[in-house]
Amino acid sequence: MNKVMTVDVLSSIKGAKPSETINKLFEVINQADLSTANAGNSNKNAVPLDSLREDNVVESSNLEKQLIVENFPQEKNGYLVVAKVIEA
Amino acid sequence: MQSQIKYIHQQLVDKQISCVDLVQQRLDRLKQNTHGSVNTLLEADALKRAQAVDAKLANGESIGLLEGIPFGVKDVFMLQGTHTTASSAFLKDYKSAYTASAIQKLLDAGAIPIVKENCDSFGHGSSNENSIFGAVQNAKDSELVAGGSSGGSAVNVAKDFTVFSIGGDTGGSVRQPAGYNGVYGLKPTYGRISRYGLMAYASSTDCVGPLAKSVEDIRIVLNAISGKDVKDQTTYKSSQIDEGALENTAGIKTVGYFKNLLDNEGMDPSIKADFMSALEQIKAKGIEVKALDFMDADTLVSTYYILAMAETASNLSRLDGTNYGNRIGAENLIESYAVTRSNNFSEETKRRVVGGNQVLSQGFSDEIYLKSLAIRDQLTADFERFFDDVDILLSPVTPGLPPKVGDSLKDPLAMYLSDAFTVGFSLGQLPTLTVPQGTATGIQITAAKTDDERVLQFAHLLEETL
């Protein structure tokens, strides 16, 4: 695989290219009077270790399971059909 | 205190109207879909719930304040068994397998969801034109946009199609349409309301927020849906806000406003003049008003959009058509992903996903992404400094008036810049309420983090002042 991951590959969107609009946002940040030296992230949304929820398996209801199956893009005998990933 | 919820509750209790008639009336209005605000009507389920409320009343049982009250749900919230499309081609046939925590709390309180509401696809937009269901038209003038992304929710409240609605606000998506349509819209402190079951756009700023026609109704709904939730571990435990507390405004002595943002060349003169006039009326109440210097609008908007795009690129990577969604088959898995995403995402969603991957890609991540995080840190420090000096921050909701339908999509950058007044408070994770007073698109009231009560107190004061 090519080592250069272009935005169309990264995004799985055909023909995607960096846009002029986004480049303008980048220009503003490039010119902003700040260095990355202070980068921390003071909006800490990480959860303290002492308040993690219990690591328990919770069984889904039958209705929930039924709806998940209804949402399968392709289904066969109650199983999800996925694209072939290994060539024979 | 003015409250539609209390008024309707009393009508139900006094048997002036049955719950079935109440719900049917609202459904009949929504069926006409005059403003394009409806994605799915929840008629059968809503009427069943209404019958249950009527049965309780007929048996002489008491009902709770929210019991039987019809409300709307932005079409990005899971509600088990209902279509939840995010106004996207990708999920046009998707059904929620479970129910969002905020919506579940309302169901538990007896409120009745009657409609899934139009919005910008995946919350990507400020005009509610980025939707497979078409543009939502403004409640005051159908030639204008409703605003976004929770445009359908704002219009439904403004037109009395719903008593209140539940929207989602990432960078202004509740507050801006509330301002454009003349209703109240709250973005609470980040973490006050669980995001579980809200489709993720930018997880570090995504908030659930109520829209309603009075401060009191915002308070009632906020109390019902706030609280710690193990399913969203960014939530925190908060206290109920009492009705009596809204009268207690003695602690609000100083308000601040951002002078530099008002001096921006993109500012509509009428909004600036009306905002300054509102400040004078507040001064006349004996409250000190201080001018503050804040980050410039370009930096605010660029920082927000860069971080939001990076987060949405990550969040929407799960949408590949494998387990759910509108899969388009191709010769192999990689090709199927690409065709499915290319054909099902709107242009605006693709722009944001591609922009986000650009931000996060090698060569940009340090230069752009980390620098944007550093700017966000500086902004958070600025807010802490401001709140050492003032009790409340006031600002317009938007720099301009609502554009005409069709104009926003022509210039995405102009659409992003129209969020200049809302995105800063999102980055700061602060509680901010749009009130439909003061300017043509309202005023935003902001308090320090977790002080949502103070926001409502000041809003109540403005109800009596402006």
Going by the DSSP 8-state scheme, the letter that residue B129 receives in this structure is: -
Best residue of A53, A71, A82 to probe chain B, by most B CBs closer than 10 Å: A71
Beta bridge partners of B72: B115, B165
Residue B73 in 3-state DSSP?
strand
**Nearest by CB: B341 against A12, A52, A72:** A12
Question: Does B315 contact chain A (CB < 8 Å)?
Answer: no
The question of whether B253 is a catalytic residue gets the answer: no
Contact B234 A14 (CB under 8 A): no
Residue B288, domain member (yes or no): no
**B72: distance to nearest CA of chain A, Å?**
22
B375-426 pLDDT, tens per residue?
999 999 999 999 999 999 999 999 999 999 998 878 888 889 889 999 999 9
Residue B132 has pLDDT above 60, yes or no: yes
What residue in A sits closest to B415 (Cα-Cα)? A21
Per the residue annotation, which of B3, B88, B131, B149 is the catalytic one? B149
**A35: distance to nearest CA of chain B, Å?**
7
Q: Which two tokens stand for residue B380?
A: 């958070």
B313-325 pLDDT, tens per residue?
999 999 999 999 9
Residue B131, domain member (yes or no): yes
CATH number, position B120: 3.90.1300.10
Question: Does B367 contact chain A (CB < 8 Å)?
Answer: yes
Residue B242, domain member (yes or no): no
Spatial distance between the Cα atoms of B436 and B218, rounded to a whole number of angstroms: 13
Spatial distance between the Cα atoms of B353 and A67, rounded to a whole number of angstroms: 28
The question of whether B74 is a catalytic residue gets the answer: yes
Residue B13, domain member (yes or no): yes
The question of whether B3 is a catalytic residue gets the answer: no
Q: Which helix (H) or strand (E) holds B101?
A: helix B101-108
Best residue of B312, B346, B354 to probe chain A, by most A CBs closer than 10 Å: B354
B192-204 pLDDT, tens per residue?
999 999 999 999 9
Q: What is residue A52's predicted lDDT score, i.e. its pLDDT?
A: 82
**A25: distance to nearest CA of chain B, Å?**
5
> What residue numbers bound the domain in which B226 lies?
4-231
Please list every residue in chain A whose beta carbon sits closer than 8 Å to the beta carbon of residue B381: 42
Average pLDDT, chain B: 96
**Nearest by CB: A85 against B204, B333, B375:** B333
Residue B421, domain member (yes or no): no
At B261, is the pLDDT very low, low, confident or very high (cuts 50, 70, 90)?
Answer: very high
| Segments of chain A assigned E as strands | 75-76, 79-80
Question: Does B196 contact chain A (CB < 8 Å)?
Answer: no
Residue A40 has pLDDT above 70, yes or no: no
Please list every residue in chain A whose beta carbon sits closer than 8 Å to the beta carbon of residue B98: 64
**A1: distance to nearest CA of chain B, Å?**
13
Residue A55 has pLDDT above 90, yes or no: no
Nearest 5 degrees, angle CA B222-CA B228-CA B231? 115
Please list every residue in chain B whose beta carbon sits closer than 8 Å to the beta carbon of residue A37: 374
Q: What is residue A88's predicted lDDT score, i.e. its pLDDT?
A: 56
Residue B128, domain member (yes or no): yes
**A42: distance to nearest CA of chain B, Å?**
6
Q: Which of these, B3, B421, B348, lies nearest to B180 by C-alpha position?
A: B421
Contact B324 A32 (CB under 8 A): no
Is residue B132 a contact partner of residue B121, using CB atoms and an 8 Å limit? yes
Spatial distance between the Cα atoms of B38 and B73, rounded to a whole number of angstroms: 10
Number of structural domains found in chain B: 1
Q: What percentage of residues in chain A have a pLDDT greater than 90?
A: 49
Residue B252, domain member (yes or no): no
Please list every residue in chain A whose beta carbon sits closer than 8 Å to the beta carbon of residue B324: 68, 71-73
Q: What is residue B415's predicted lDDT score, i.e. its pLDDT?
A: 85
Contact B345 A13 (CB under 8 A): yes
Question: Does B443 contact chain A (CB < 8 Å)?
Answer: no
Is residue B186 a contact partner of residue B453, using CB atoms and an 8 Å limit? no
Residue B323, domain member (yes or no): no
Spatial distance between the Cα atoms of B266 and B196, rounded to a whole number of angstroms: 37
Residue A84 has pLDDT above 90, yes or no: no
User: What residues 388-427 of chain B have any CB closer than 8 A to a CB of chain A?
Assistant: 412-413, 416, 427
Contact A39 B354 (CB under 8 A): no
ipTM here: 0.92
